[in-house]
A = this chain, B = another copy of it.
């Protein structure tokens, strides 16, 4: 059984590799024909998709999944309409493939051009969000990559229905159906095989909880681009404007608590703490955010009779994904930077200050993917950054860091034109 699975997955990967070589030189118009057809098929296939989704929902209920999880699995006509719209948005984006990145002519006359090309075959390992199936398929296709999708068992029927539409759309455009394949089993043995197929698969992107990503990183020989979640900081500098401090902290923490770019940690400069903390704390409390305080911040808030919880050590390295924030008072900008570099997940951090010099030092010294000055960490996002689409937010430092759009799904190659040059 396990040998059969390994053979099945190897065959999927081999066919994906063959399709990727075709896709690499498929013209933009042809890829857009497939994408446009997919949008139409999503619109005309509500019944089929929702019927498949109902099967997954029934299984989810009988398996006792939590309400929030079931909510995440659930499709409805409005969500499907939105999905079709997002496919059309990708049609409208510029094709990244073939873009000239740099060009040089060497003293010996060799003309060297570096051009953007697809990576090749990308494996996406994800959990139970059905939109990921469509999002990843269309971004890989637009960027000329073959995709191998392996979703969670909770959305297996929905994914199978989507995969059938994708295949139809590809074939309608004359693109090999193998360009996007769903692994037709959620058996762990199939995943284990995929993670080792570095001969055919060039990149794995795991999307989901930390344990999934860690499992993939530990077991893959295929290069992995990790999308861990965020332990993001807001730092209120000595020179922070009180209104901005409140507005940015509340937005970073409470506008959406379940996402990776939400703030989990608040640092306040000692010289500004008396002035800023009570105001910011009251605003957070008004949004039902629990405040977990160190001794210094607790002392200030207690004097003002503001409700708080004493923090424990683990709070300072926790991604709460909840209406909770950990608060510390720091002695200096440098302490803030050092604290962030030690305790953050290097995802998104913000400084609130009117002092440009402090902001520049913070942006230089903080070693995170995105460092904000007087703006919310919540903006770390491919759409907000103007990429038009994103496959996720990389927490790696190699290849892509921060939001990954179409360009970040590409590699490059060198084209070298000569007139008979040989090396001495």
Residues on A facing B (Cβ under 8 Å)? 21, 24-25, 104, 106, 110, 112, 117, 119-120, 198, 202-203, 217-218, 221, 223-225, 241, 243-244, 247-248, 250-252, 255, 341, 359, 363-365, 367-376, 378-380, 384-386, 396-399, 401-402, 411-424
A217 CA to B210 CA in the complex, in Å? 22
Contact of A370 with B251 at beta-carbon distance under 8 Å, contacts A25-B364, A106-B384, A364-B25 already known: no
Nearest 6 pairs between A and B by C-beta?
A: A375-B418, A251-B422, A378-B423, A399-B399, A398-B399, A370-B414
Contact of A416 with B371 at beta-carbon distance under 8 Å, contacts A217-B198, A399-B399, A411-B397 already known: yes
A422 CA to B119 CA in the complex, in Å? 35
Q: Which of B120, B198, B341, B375 contacts A421 (CB 8 A)?
A: B375
A112 touching B420, Cβ below 8 Å: no
A376 CA to B110 CA in the complex, in Å? 10
Q: Chain B: which residue is nearest A224 at the CB level?
A: B223
- Not counting A21-B341, A223-B396, a sample of 8 additional A-B residue pairs whose C-beta atoms are within 8 angstroms of each other reads A248-B420, A250-B422, A370-B414, A370-B415, A374-B421, A376-B418, A378-B423, A401-B413
- By a CB distance below 8 angstroms, the chain B residues around A375 are 110, 416-422
B417 touching A373, Cβ below 8 Å: yes
A371 CA to B111 CA in the complex, in Å? 12
Can you pick out 25 interface pairs between chain A and chain B where the beta carbons lie within 8 Å of each other?
A25-B365, A104-B386, A106-B386, A110-B379, A120-B397, A198-B217, A202-B397, A223-B224, A223-B397, A250-B422, A251-B422, A370-B414, A371-B413, A371-B415, A374-B417, A374-B418, A375-B416, A375-B420, A375-B421, A375-B422, A379-B416, A379-B423, A385-B414, A397-B411, A401-B412
CB distance from A67 to the nearest CB of B (A): 26
Q: Chain B: which residue is nearest A360 at the CB level?
A: B415
A223 CA to B220 CA in the complex, in Å? 10
CB distance from A377 to the nearest CB of B (A): 9
A424 CA to B376 CA in the complex, in Å? 11
Q: Chain B: which residue is nearest A412 at the CB level?
A: B401
Q: Chain B: which residue is nearest A21 at the CB level?
A: B341
Contact of A370 with B416 at beta-carbon distance under 8 Å, contacts A398-B119, A398-B398, A398-B399 already known: yes
- Counting every copy of the chain, the complex holds 2
A217 CA to B221 CA in the complex, in Å? 6
Q: Which of B241, B371, B414, B419 contacts A414 (CB 8 A)?
A: B371
Q: Chain B: which residue is nearest A105 at the CB level?
A: B386
- By a CB distance below 8 angstroms, the chain B residues around A423 are 251, 255, 376, 378-379, 384
Q: Which of B241, B379, B398, B422 contacts A202 (CB 8 A)?
A: B398
Contact of A369 with B217 at beta-carbon distance under 8 Å, contacts A21-B341, A202-B397, A341-B21 already known: no
Contact of A112 with B385 at beta-carbon distance under 8 Å, contacts A398-B223, A423-B255 already known: yes
B203 touching A398, Cβ below 8 Å: yes
- By a CB distance below 8 angstroms, the chain B residues around A341 are 21
- By a CB distance below 8 angstroms, the chain B residues around A416 are 370-373, 375, 379
- By a CB distance below 8 angstroms, the chain B residues around A413 are 367-371, 401-402
A243 CA to B224 CA in the complex, in Å? 45
Q: Chain B: which residue is nearest A223 at the CB level?
A: B398
- By a CB distance below 8 angstroms, the chain B residues around A363 are 415
B371 touching A244, Cβ below 8 Å: no
Q: Chain B: which residue is nearest A114 at the CB level?
A: B402
B374 touching A420, Cβ below 8 Å: yes
A62 CA to B11 CA in the complex, in Å? 50
Q: Chain B: which residue is nearest A398 at the CB level?
A: B399
A335 CA to B187 CA in the complex, in Å? 38
A251 CA to B420 CA in the complex, in Å? 10
B25 touching A119, Cβ below 8 Å: no
Q: Chain B: which residue is nearest A416 at the CB level?
A: B372
